[in-house]
Amino acid sequence: FQAEDGIRDLVRSRGLGDVYKRQGMAQAVDETGAILINASGSLASMAKEDRIVRLTPNAEHRAKAMAALLAKDGIEHLIVLYRDSETADELHKTVKRYFAGRVTAVAGSEHLDEMARGPVEKALAKTAADKVAMFVIGPNEPRRLLDALTPDSPLLAVRWYGDESIAKDERLIATQAVAPRAAQVRFTCPTYSLEGFGLFLPQVQSLGYLLKTDSDAPVLTLAINAYDALWLAARAYERAGVDASPEELWEKLTNQANHVYGLGGPTFLDVNGDRLFCAYTFYTVAQEGTQYCWKPTALYRHAAFLSGIIALD
């Protein structure tokens, strides 16, 4: 909000795709004097002083949560597997920064199962299978790999973890050839959620009832962030006035964020304008009877009153 006409002009002149890239959006904010509230962006490289409030914690928090879970699970050697891209490489490096064990990266454009076989076999030659794990990055890679592997693949002898992009993916547990293998490797992924706080859930349930659709799908945390973003902006305008300068409005906005508990929990910000406190739920593919499901197995919270992993199983 603020300087929205400038953003529109920038989109018209450069194209939507260019402006919506990470660097393009930051440049648009600088050029137009706009103030943005981002309800979903989480890359660690976006964490810098600017006029962008991010209501999703940056990936540094998620990497700390993943490292804490890996330590709890006794993992000593992590093989990170991903289709080569700037975003995936950044996520790999962020996790590596916080994981205390050994990390081997395997990145490529195709045949990732073949590329990973050697590193996994080498790891198993030196380390017990229950202390070796794979971290597979990407929304589609885990499903593709699990479908393509042969039953005797060494990749199925170790535990698997994934990133937030595939957490609770219904397609994975609904695919007949994939679901049993996902349960076999105890495929586990984090998702940013409120359950780790143990608070705010009644409000979220009430919002879910008000926004109920025919699909019965739960209200996503990112949608709750968008709801909170609207109120933060409205309250900032209420206090600064509609004719306030960007500087005045920014001061009121950040002040509000640092004193508000929204539906998504405390919106307190760090020095970069990113959400300071966060919570994640880890889901693991499990078999229940003849069906497969995503079962919550651990919580992670970073809060003023408590931080760390809480095991559920």
How much is the pLDDT for 44? 63
Give the Cα separation of 247 and 98 in Å (integer): 36
13-40: average pLDDT:
61
Q: For 250, left (φ over 0), alpha (ψ -120 to 50), or beta?
A: alpha
| Band of pLDDT at residue 215, cut at 50, 70 and 90 | low
Q: By mean pLDDT, which of 2-16, 22-36, 66-80 is the weakest?
A: 2-16
155-184: average pLDDT:
94
Q: Is 198 helix (H, G, I), strand (E, B) or coil?
A: coil
Q: For residue 237, is pLDDT > 80?
A: yes
Which has the closest alpha carbon to 147: 114, 172, 117, 170? 172
Q: Is 299 helix (H, G, I), strand (E, B) or coil?
A: strand
How much is the pLDDT for 192? 84
CA distance readout (Å), 272 to 31, 48, 49, 55, 298: 19, 5, 5, 11, 28
CA distance readout (Å), 220 to 60, 168, 217: 21, 12, 9
Give the Cα separation of 235 and 267 in Å (integer): 13
How much is the pLDDT for 187? 98
Give the Cα separation of 260 and 252 in Å (integer): 12
72-78: average pLDDT:
97
Q: For residue 58, is pLDDT > 50?
A: yes
What mean pLDDT, rounded, does the chain reach?
Answer: 83
pTM above 0.85, yes or no: no
Q: For residue 49, is pLDDT > 90?
A: no
43-63: average pLDDT:
78
How much is the pLDDT for 51? 80
pLDDT tens per residue across span 266-287: 889 988 888 888 889 999 999 9
User: What backbone torsions phi and psi does residue 132 show, to the nearest 5 degrees?
Assistant: -115, 140
| Band of pLDDT at residue 18, cut at 50, 70 and 90 | very low
Burial class (CB in 10 A: 0-12, 13-18, 19+), 178: buried
pLDDT tens per residue across span 190-201: 988 877 666 656
How much is the pLDDT for 16? 40
